[in-house]
């Protein structure tokens, strides 16, 4: 039986990390927006995470965070299980989420969390299907294309999750016009590999 996208439970999420290697770097922020279809379905989720690795200068230029900003943050074994619980039973949605997912799987193994997500959807794949002539799929470019303008100096996990949720919500009606109106058709069009 097919499930209507508008009745499905999603969790739009974003992470900030100390660098780009799941093996050598760590998560420092988690932001998430729960949705039912495109409607809010609970409070936003945000937590900083105490890093256990040095924050690389390239990453600092993106999110503007350093160790001093995070010394009072909860450690991963406290912060991550809260996110994993929120994700349970929901379809994850992210903007090019493969790297974020790799960090989550690694963190789940490290802290012993139960990361039980079944599916993850890539908003940039949906965007490319809806706008095949647009080749820029950065979060800011996709947001501008659907009429969302967010001026910001640095990236932040919750801010990026909110913008991603707004882009996703703007794309759903356009997907419906293309015949993508069920969870199954959405997963077929835009899923990313889930590996544990």
Residue 64 belongs to a domain:
yes
Q: Which residue has the higher pLDDT, 125 or 152?
A: 125
Query: Number of structural domains, the chain?
Result: 1
pLDDT tens digit sequence for 25-84:
999 999 999 999 999 999 999 999 998 776 776 766 666 676 666 778 999 999 999 999
Say if residue 1's pLDDT is above 60.
no
pLDDT averaged over the chain? 90
Percent of the chain with pLDDT over 70: 90
pLDDT at 190: 94
Residue 196 belongs to a domain:
no
Task: State the CATH number of the domain containing residue 145.
Answer: 3.30.420.10
Domain that holds residue 39: 5-190
pLDDT at 115: 86
pLDDT at 52: 79
Residue 82 belongs to a domain:
yes
Query: Which runs of E-coded beta strand occur in 18-164?
Result: 27-36, 39-40, 45-48, 91-94, 120-122
Q: How confident is the model at residue 144 (pLDDT cuts 50, 70, 90)?
A: very high
pLDDT tens digit sequence for 98-124:
999 999 999 999 887 788 777 899 999
Q: Give the Cα-Cα-Cα angle 56, 57, 63 (nearest 5 degrees).
A: 90
| Cβ atoms of residues 30 and 49 within 8 Å | yes
pLDDT at 68: 64
Residue 195 belongs to a domain:
no
| Cβ atoms of residues 47 and 157 within 8 Å | no
Q: Which residue has the higher pLDDT, 1 or 109?
A: 109
Q: Give the Cα-Cα-Cα angle 56, 167, 92 (nearest 5 degrees).
A: 70
Q: Which residue has the higher pLDDT, 154 or 158?
A: 158
DSSP 8-state symbol, 196: -
Residue 166 belongs to a domain:
yes
pLDDT at 57: 66
pLDDT at 51: 84
Give the mean pLDDT of 7-31: 95
Residue 117 belongs to a domain:
yes
Residue 67 belongs to a domain:
yes
What pTM, to 2 d.p., does this model score? 0.92
Residue 36, classified by CB atoms within 10 Å of its CB into exposed (0-12), middle (13-18) or buried (19+), is middle
| Cβ atoms of residues 51 and 45 within 8 Å | no
pLDDT at 60: 65
């Amino acid at each position: 039986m097919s499930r209507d996208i508008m009745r499905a439970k999603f969790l739009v999420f974003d992470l900030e990390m100390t660098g780009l290697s799941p093996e050598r770097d760590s998560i420092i922020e988690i932001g998430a927006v729960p949705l039912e279809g495109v409607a809010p379905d609970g409070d936003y989720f945000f937590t900083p995470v105490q890093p256990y690795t040095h924050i690389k200068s390239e990453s600092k230029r993106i999110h503007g965070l350093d160790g001093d900003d995070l010394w009072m943050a909860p450690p991963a074994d406290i912060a991550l299980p809260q996110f994993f619980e929120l994700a349970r039973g929901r379809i994850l949605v992210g903007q090019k989420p493969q790297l974020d997912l790799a960090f989550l799987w690694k963190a789940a193994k490290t802290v012993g969390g139960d990361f039980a997500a079944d599916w993850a959807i890539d908003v940039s794949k949906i965007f490319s299907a809806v706008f095949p002539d647009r080749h820029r799929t950065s979060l800011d470019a996709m947001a501008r294309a659907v009429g969302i303008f967010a001026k910001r100096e640095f990236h932040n996990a919750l801010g990026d999750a909110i913008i991603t949720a707004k882009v996703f919500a703007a794309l759903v009606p356009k997907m419906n016009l293309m015949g993508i109106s069920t969870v199954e058709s959405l997963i077929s069009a835009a899923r990313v590999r889930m590996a544990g």
